[in-house]
Amino acid sequence: MYKKILAAPFYFWIVCGTVIPLVMIMYYGFTDRTGRLTMNNVLAIFQPVHAQALGLALLLAFISTLICFLLAFPLAMILKGSSWGRKGFIVFIFVLPMWMNFLLRTMAWQVILEKGGIFNTMLQTMHLPSLNIINTPAAIVLGMVYDFLPFMVLPIYNTLMKIEPSVIEAAYDLGATKGKVLKDILLPLSVPGIASGITMVFVPSLTTFVISNILGGGKIYLIGNIIEQEFTTSANWNLGSGLSLVMMVFIVISMGAMSRLDKSGEGNFI
């Protein structure tokens, strides 16, 4: 009984924060403005504009997840190999930007990448042709990688640190080269961390509308932007909810696939 009383705030939180909003989204998603049941809001995903936005969102999320992984794994390896004092410093450097507001960090990139921005000024002083990255999908990917990279590094670093040093020594002892140790020992044993990192980068990348808004110049529509607009400018909550449900299916699929790889929840660091 006592325990139940202690748990009450959490039940309240779950009901207000998760159950009620979900029920509302479902209600709006499966009804039209007059309150009649309909599948049109969900099926609207097959309209070319929406399908393209979803496709682009999936593609960019995939690319940024891949880039994050390619950067994060070697970095986690470097972290693993460095001495304790230096390790703390590198982790600190990495986590530092996470303490700053996410919106602010993204806007900083806007300033850097602008036509007359810092990046192009630097290119000019080096007599290189200017690059117009701003308002392209490349800028969005850059923003995603920058914002979400720590979420890939930390779980991978965590699982790498959990590998017994003697297991790695045993592999060398049996004649394995560095490449073989990486391929057959380090990579397979850090799969839980990699899976956790992938979900934590892929899902927010897939659903973002802020990064695409700021760095895409409002011209590139990801599924997140479409949904946002339905809720705000178009005030069509039913269509917005319907599309959200479709996106949720993709999130659930990707999380389900990844949690199979991370059965014991080892890679979770939060």
Partner 1 sequence: MKSSLIELRNITKAFEDNVVLDDFSLTVNQNEFITLLGPSGCGKTTTLRIVGGFETPDQGRVFFEGRDITDVPPNKRHINTVFQKYALFPHMNVGQNIAFGLQISGKSDAYIRDKVKYGLKLVNLDGFERRKIESLSGGQQQRVAMARAIVNEPKVLLLDEPLGALDLKLRQDMEYELIRLKNELGITFIYVTHDQEEALTMSDKVVVMNGGYIQQMGTPEQIYNEPENAFVADFIGDSNIIDGIMMEDRVVKICDTIFPCIDEGFGTNNPVDVVIRPEDLIIGKPGEGRLDGEVTHIVFIGVHYEMEIMAGGFEWLVQNTVSYPVGTKVSLDVIPANIQIMNKPKSKEEEAINTDV
Residues that bind partner 1 (CB under 8 A): 164, 166-167, 169-177, 180, 184-185, 188-189
Looking at the Cβ atoms of 181 and 255, the one nearer to partner 1 is 181
Q: Cα dist. 31→199, 236, 244 in Å?
A: 31, 11, 14
The distance of closest approach from Cβ of residue 187 to partner 1 in the complex, given in angstroms and rounded to an integer, is: 10
The distance of closest approach from Cβ of residue 99 to partner 1 in the complex, given in angstroms and rounded to an integer, is: 34
The distance of closest approach from Cβ of residue 261 to partner 1 in the complex, given in angstroms and rounded to an integer, is: 12
Looking at the Cβ atoms of 5 and 174, the one nearer to partner 1 is 174
Q: Are 42 and 30 in contact (CB under 8 A)?
A: yes
| CA end-to-end span of the chain | 29
The distance of closest approach from Cβ of residue 164 to partner 1 in the complex, given in angstroms and rounded to an integer, is: 6
Query: Of 218, 63, 56, 57, which is closest to residue 135 (Cα–Cα)?
Result: 218
Looking at the Cβ atoms of 159 and 238, the one nearer to partner 1 is 159
The distance of closest approach from Cβ of residue 75 to partner 1 in the complex, given in angstroms and rounded to an integer, is: 23
The distance of closest approach from Cβ of residue 172 to partner 1 in the complex, given in angstroms and rounded to an integer, is: 5
Looking at the Cβ atoms of 35 and 81, the one nearer to partner 1 is 81
Query: CA-to-CA distance for 49 and 54, rounded, in angstroms?
Result: 9
Q: Are 230 and 240 in contact (CB under 8 A)?
A: yes
Looking at the Cβ atoms of 68 and 186, the one nearer to partner 1 is 186
Task: Please count the residues of the chain.
Answer: 270
Looking at the Cβ atoms of 115 and 178, the one nearer to partner 1 is 178
